[in-house]
Structure 1
Amino acid sequence: MRWVIDFWVFFCTLTGLIPSHTIRLFLYRHFFRVRIGKDSSIHWLARFNLPSGVEIG
């Protein structure tokens, strides 16, 4: 089960490398279930140790 969490965190870290803010927000909101406010942003290279349950903005 630990390898699933490790893969999840690894993929979330790779998402932070995407230069398009729109694509990053889409993946964080819909794939990783991070709650991000309408006027909030996540900068490039942001890292999460466990993205589910995070609420920003």
Structure 2
Amino acid sequence: MADLPKEYAFVLDANDKKLAPTNINKAWILIRKKKATMINKYPMTIKLNREVEGECP
């Protein structure tokens, strides 16, 4: 079976700070649990409903 390329979703926190991308399946789980909202479908971008502390690498 051929390995499919992994698809990622871009992630923003509540203050629109860019975070590390996540797997699309994980993004859908966050949306269903009402922990995030979809901003854009392609490329998939989600916005978390909470603020994330700390610095991005």
Higher strand share: 2
Higher helix share: 1
Provide the TM-score with structure 2 as the length reference: 0.28
- When Rg is computed on C-alpha atoms for both structures, the one with the higher figure is 2
Provide the TM-score with structure 1 as the length reference: 0.28
